[in-house]
A = this chain, B = another copy of it.
C-alpha cells in the first residue's frame, strides 16, 4: 500500500501516522522528495483500512498495491480450480462445458424435451429458471418451488445435473437437488446471500453485476470462499454501457483477465449479453475463442411461446449446429 502525502506535511502528524502504521504491523518506507513525500507500506496490509488513512488531513491519496482478494487470487493458488459437479461433469481445467436450457421452466413436457435435445447436442448441464428476477412486478415471476420440482424430474430423466437461480436465502432449503446454484447479476452484491452460500458445499455460478468491476466480482467470490465454499464459477453476462442497441455489452476481455487474476473457471452467458437470439452464435464463438471454460445458453423448443426473455433464446437445432462449431474453435485454440 502506498500513502501519498500532501505538500508541506506537518512533521508531527507524519510521525504519529508512521508510528500508528508500524503498530498495525506493517513496515513503513519513507521517500522524501522536493514536492511530495510517499510512504510505502510493506507487509500484511490487508487489515489496514484505506478509508481511515485517506481521510487524514496530511494524506492526499492512498493506493493499494496488492489485490484485496486472497482466496480467489491466482497469485496464491497458481493452479486452475476444477469443479467436479458429478462423476461425468467437471468445469475448468481445459474442459469446455455447455450448459443449456430454457429461460423459465414452464412444464414437465417442456423442460424434459429441451433437456433431452440439448443433451443430444453435447450439453452436460441443464439450466432453467424457477425463481425469475423480473424488472416489473406485473411480469411472470417463475414457477418457483414447482419449477424446482420439474427441474428435478428433468434431471432424473436425462441424468443432466441442473443449475438454477436463487433469489433469497429463504429459498435455499428447496435447493437440495440442485447441483449448481446460480447467483444473478442483480444479487452479485447481496452480501447476506453470498455469506449464506458460503456455508453450503454446493458449486456456485456467480454472475457479474451489470456495472461491477472485475475486482468487485472477485470480492463477491471472496465472500463465498471466505465462508469455506471454494467451488465458485465466475460468469460474465454482459455489462451496462451507453450502447442500447444490444441489451448489454459482452465484455469478452473478462475471460482472459479473470483467468489471469483468478484460478476460478469462467463461464460466459451469450444469451443475456446481447438479448438477441441472432447474436448468440457469434458471441458464443467469440467466448470460446477467447478461452472461456463454458457457456450457459438459453434454448427453447418453441420460442414464440416462451414466457420470458424469448428474444434471446435459440432453437435446439441452432444450438446443435453451434455446439459443433464451438468444438472446432476449442480445438483450434487448444493446439
Show the binding face of A for B, using Cβ within 8 Å: 2, 4, 7, 27, 29-36, 38, 40, 42-43, 46-47, 49, 51-52, 54-56, 61, 63, 65-66, 68, 75, 133-139, 141, 167-171, 186-187, 189-193, 195, 210-211, 213-216, 219, 222-223, 226, 239-246, 249-253, 255-257, 260, 273-274, 277-279, 282-283, 285-291, 303-311, 313, 325, 328-329, 331-333, 335
Most chain B beta-carbon neighbours within 10 Å: one of A65, A252, A283: A252
Contact B167 A170, beta carbon cutoff 8 Å: no
The minimal Cβ–Cβ distance linking A323 to chain B, given in whole angstroms, is 13
Contact B31 A40, beta carbon cutoff 8 Å: yes
Contact B242 A256, beta carbon cutoff 8 Å: no
Given A168-B169, A190-B187, A242-B211, A38-B65 contact (CB < 8 Å): yes
Contact A253 B135, beta carbon cutoff 8 Å: no
- In the assembled complex, which residues on chain B have CB atoms less than 8 Å from the CB atom of A191? 133-134, 137, 141, 167, 186
13 more contacts with CB within 8 A, not counting A141-B191, A252-B252, A253-B283, are A29-B30, A35-B66, A38-B40, A51-B310, A136-B219, A168-B190, A171-B192, A211-B211, A213-B242, A239-B249, A250-B252, A256-B278, A325-B333
- Distance of A257 Cα from B244 Cα, bound (Å): 12
Given A167-B192, A186-B190, A253-B250, A42-B32 contact (CB < 8 Å): yes
The minimal Cβ–Cβ distance linking A218 to chain B, given in whole angstroms, is 10
The minimal Cβ–Cβ distance linking A277 to chain B, given in whole angstroms, is 7
Contact A68 B304, beta carbon cutoff 8 Å: no
- In the assembled complex, which residues on chain B have CB atoms less than 8 Å from the CB atom of A54? 310-311
Contact A42 B34, beta carbon cutoff 8 Å: yes
- Distance of A36 Cα from B210 Cα, bound (Å): 33
Given A29-B38, A310-B51, A273-B246 contact (CB < 8 Å): no
The minimal Cβ–Cβ distance linking A324 to chain B, given in whole angstroms, is 9
Given A255-B282, A256-B282, A286-B290, A242-B245 contact (CB < 8 Å): no
Please list 5 pairs of residues, one from A and one from B, whose beta carbons are closer than 8 Å in the complex, sorted by A's number.
A49-B308, A169-B170, A170-B170, A252-B252, A286-B287
Contact A244 B213, beta carbon cutoff 8 Å: yes
Find A332's partner among B215, B226, B329 (CB 8 Å cutoff). B329
